[in-house]
Amino acid sequence: GPDRVPSGPTRSGPSGIDEGGADGSTATARDGPGDTYCGNCAEFDYVRTDDGMRPYCGHYDELMDDMDACDQWTPR
């Protein structure tokens, strides 16, 4: 009919019941990357230095001063 609703992924599970998180949210990994910060970037790691463990960016090949995502951020 003219008012046909497209079928596709929904946020409810196979039972049709909302499968929200413990805090009542319904966001899941398939909904998007979540927060964009260096800690969840594919290029992020911690490295051991003389000053202890430090955040490291593999994309820029350098130690980091903050955890703000750059334009090259890619999800893990």
pLDDT given at position 47: 96
pTM, two decimal places: 0.52
Taking residues 6-19, report their average pLDDT.
47
Please state the separation of Cα 64 from the chain's center in Å. Answer: 19
pLDDT given at position 12: 43
Is the separation of the CB atoms in 37 and 69 below 8 Å? yes
Sheet holding 62-63, edge to edge: 44-49, 52-57, 62-63
End-to-end CA distance of the chain: 42
Q: Which residues contact 71 (CB under 8 A, 6 or more apart)?
A: none
